[in-house]
A = this chain, B = another copy of it.
Amino acid sequence: MAKTSQAAGLHRASLAKLHELDAALELMYYGWRGMTLKADAYLAKQGLSRPHHRILYVVARRPDIAIGALIEILGISKQALNRPLNLLLERKLLTSKRSPEQHRSKLLRLTEAGRRIEQRASDHERQALREAFERVGASGAAGWMGVMEAIADNN
């Protein structure tokens, strides 16, 4: 699917800072890229990409989730979910079966192969976080979490 991602500022561009917070703003951008770079490269090797990983990630943490609930969590339309989801089913990374009571909905689960890929992709991301946390120590990590929570809830 996705081509191996381009240089795309592999080297953080040095731009003049017009505001005090410009450095932080750019760090958010490059931080996101730094965290996802290796995971995306791994996924590309498997013929998968970010949307597939998002599906695998959620299903891993919500076994037997129904399709409607998955759509809600991912925040995309069912048509947008359709392609990547079917690919994952065809490749037998996911299974779907009808619920015993609620026959209307289909329940999704990871297969062993799906679990393995989800683990490896997420591990690349966690590894980037782990190294960074180790470098700054526990108090820095706590600060990072606090800031990210505040930003995440900024609605």
Contacts and interface: CB of A to CB of B under 8 A. Distances in A.
Contacts of A30: 148, 151-152
Given A10-B155, A15-B58, A25 B150 contact: no
Interface in A1-55: 6-10, 12-13, 15-19, 21-25, 27-28, 30-35, 37-38
Interface stretch (A81-89, A96-104, A132-140): A132-140
A79 interface: no
For the residues of A in contact with B, the DSSP-based class is helix
A16 to B, nearest CB: 5
A149 interface: yes
A27 B145 CA distance: 8
A34 B144 contact: no
Given A15-B58, A18-B61, A128-B154, 17 more contacts: A8-B75, A8-B76, A9-B73, A10-B155, A13-B73, A16-B62, A17-B61, A19-B122, A24-B144, A25-B122, A28-B129, A28-B148, A132-B150, A135-B146, A135-B150, A140-B147, A141-B143
A60 interface: yes
A92 interface: no
Given A6-B76, A135-B150, A126 B19 contact: yes
